[in-house]
A and B are shown apart, each in its own frame.
Chain A
Amino acid sequence: MNEIDIKFLEDSFKKYYFNHFDLISSPGRTSEREFGYQKFNSSFFNRHISLKDDKELHLLFMQNIPSDVYCSNAYYAFPNSPMNEKDWKEADLIFDIDAKDLNLSCRKNHTVSICNQCNEISKNTNQCVKCNSTKLEKKSLPCKTCIEASKIEVLKLSNVLTDDLGINKEDIHIYFSGNEGFHVYVYNSQFQQLGSKERSELVDYIMFHGAIPETFGMKKFKPNRSSFPDFDQKGWNGRFSKQVFGSKSKRSKIISELLSNGYSSFQKTLDDVSEQIGVKIDPNVTMDIHRIFRLPGSINSKSGLTKSLCTDVIKFEPYTDACFLNDDSVEVLANCPVEFKLKNKKFGPYKNQKISIPTYAAAYLICKKLATIA
């Protein structure tokens, strides 16, 4: 990124931060958490920072004008010590739902590639159309379908968290990640002190991974119909019934089919069902008990959008509700082969065009390396 683009982004981010301290706060027990940040065009990651309170946090923003700010889900006795001396106490449970993991068919329509060798931008994501190189950086400009599909996963997750795992609704906070998905935080749960291995088991539960036929009524020897799950059952048994039987009237007929197809075929059914009813979370994120996460209220430098709390995830419109940069017009040279929408306004496609667009849209394109200040 060139100096002028960086200056533009830094100025825009700074303005946002200065005016929105109300949105930026650590997720509680500030002094026990580890903070980190990155600056534009620097690969150096400033980590192992400890802060006393939100005031110090705001100072960090003003002094450094970071491109990205992070905060740990873990609580430590010594957050600013090296990793193995921090003295881990516990960690909030966090889930990452990302549109890119949902295998949506719309992705190819709004993913562009930037060639690492010759900087050519195109919609061909396999190889560079100009120099044939396969070393491509992919950028996605997620569409409404991506966001809606992610929201469905968030709702599935909330349902498992409250019904199965007994978590209070008030302890679940949902954030738009600032780019292509959602982060779901769980506070004050019985899982705070679980290590990575145990969290990985929890992940398998939520994703519906590793189910065996016996759990859903199919025995290896002498199977019988009475052990199959029913609609009114709690947890995965009930969800399985709804998915596999569809309606109460079909239940009996489908059980007969399952029985005649046999045990190994039932295992196959479970694997297919897992794809449909399992919640699509990123397992690595939840398993990591030392990770630092984008700070709520901070801007995601991949998009210029804010990581925002969603009080009502169904109604939340990220490309309006998380778009906080100003409307001042800026002239940019844009090369973006796909169309996108911000604050209910359509932009693009642009083919090496000099255009005047609002700051928020310019920042979005520059963050995605699809435009530079003219």
Chain B
Amino acid sequence: MLVLGQDEKAKYPFLADAGEYLKDKGFSLVQFGSDPVLKLSVEKALHRIKVAAAGEVYKSDIDKDGQASKDYVLEREVFSFLLAIVLIKLTGMSTLIKRFALAEARRAENYLEKDLGNASNKSKIDLATRIIYDLFNIEIIKENDFFVIPVSDYLKHSVTFHEREWKLINRHVENGKVFLTPDKTVRLIRKELGNYISSKIINAPKPSMIPGLENIVNELILISKKLTPTYTITTGEYPPCIKHAIDILEKGENLPHSGRFMLATFLLSRGQTVQQIAPLFKNAPDYNPRVTLYQLNHLAGTSGSSTKYACPSCEKLKTQDLCFITKECDNIINPSQFGKKRK
């Protein structure tokens, strides 16, 4: 377990044990609802959540090195984080958990990046690499100005990124290792950091309502409800990859197995039945109605393992040479999102 100083706790408050921290400082949760001085921390917590809900990163009162002029400033940083968790638990809104965890991850990211990039202070680098190792089991080694990590570790984290910059081909790779700058190293674990923080929130026990905080909790519930997006289909048009696959089949040419998989899973996701889809394949050079039905039923989850297969992502289709992107694709990451607009 990491032993942290007060300034480090202010930078990485999610590493602190909430219950123990309050006990150490000699406070109970109930006091935060009534004590006017402690209420300042509650207001800060509310602000911290509101900023996160708006998709921004909360700006701390501590400087980039985690220092502050007064000790109580550091203390309030930790309090406001712990109280924000209490408030979110009291709202019971999962949208808030996600947004808050992401924003806090990005905040911590700034400090981690600063610590990693701090060439003159080895202990700061050690702390940052220790945090990354303890939390995410990734061993990072400093090599000159870069941090190197095994390619397999890099891939496990980078596959969820959609920006092309994160593809392995766009990284310096040598001898089984990926070379990263401090900012990229930290960016790589943002999602895990977010997951770590949200799992901390999810696993925290739900406190009973603290008298004096009811209004704040209600305000947060209202904010959260406004955030939940609704999706609607505005067009029934097929994306270019699907149109291309249908074209190939109509011409009686061979569509590779991966293309057939994409087409079938896409149409299933659009609510078509196996019986509606099967005739599409009748022009294929190796068409066999029995095999086609068997495979479609398998994909639909009506036979075999009852797993319903999802349409592959745009990224995967690119690798398989099945992507024929147009500007109408509009940055979607899966063909099934084509033509759907966020309200």
Contacts and interface: CB of A to CB of B under 8 A. Distances in A.
Interface of A: 82-84, 116, 134-136, 163-167, 190-191, 193-194, 197-198, 200-205, 208-212, 214-215, 234-237, 283-284, 287
A83 B156 CA distance: 23
A235 B159 contact: no
A177 to B, nearest CB: 18
B252 A134 contact: yes
Interface string B268-287: 00000000000000000100
Given A197-B159, A200-B316, A201-B159, A208 B152 contact: no
Contact of B152 (A83, A163, A198): A198
B30 interface: no
Contacts of A205: 167-169, 173
B169 A210 contact: yes
Interface string B238-264: 000000000000001000111000000
A283 B321 CA distance: 10
Interface stretch (B82-90, B92-100, B174-182, B188-196): B174-182
Given A215-B169, A234-B174, A235-B173, A198 B318 contact: no
A166 B319 CA distance: 23
A217 B165 CA distance: 13
A244 to B, nearest CB: 16
Contact of B151 (A116, A165, A214, A215): A165
A84 B285 contact: no
A201 B155 contact: yes
A243 B170 CA distance: 18
B246 to A, nearest CB: 18
B257 A236 contact: no
Contacts of B175: 163-164, 166, 234
Contacts of B177: 166
Contacts of B319: 200, 203-204, 209, 283, 287
Contacts of A211: 167, 169-170
Contacts of B152: 190-191, 193-194, 198
B318 A190 contact: no
Contacts of A209: 169, 318-319
A343 B24 CA distance: 83
A84 B307 contact: yes
B321 to A, nearest CB: 8
B172 interface: yes
Given A135-B285, A190-B151, A165 B176 contact: yes
A163 B172 CA distance: 12
A204 B169 contact: yes
Contacts of B150: 190
Contacts of A204: 167-169, 319
Interface in B10-53: none
Given A194-B156, A209-B319, A235 B258 contact: no
A166 B176 contact: yes
16 contacts: A82-B305, A136-B285, A164-B173, A166-B174, A190-B176, A194-B155, A194-B156, A200-B316, A201-B167, A202-B151, A205-B167, A210-B170, A211-B169, A211-B170, A214-B170, A287-B319
B172 A235 contact: yes
A250 to B, nearest CB: 24
Contacts of A83: 305
Nearest to A135: B285
Q: Which of B175, B252, B257, B319 has the most CB of A within 10 A?
A: B319
Nearest to B251: A134
A205 B319 CA distance: 10
A138 B91 CA distance: 65
A279 to B, nearest CB: 12
Contact of A210 (B167, B258, B285): B167
B226 interface: no
A343 to B, nearest CB: 33
B155 A198 contact: yes
B6 interface: no
Q: Which of A163, A204, A210, A235 has the most CB of B within 10 A?
A: A210
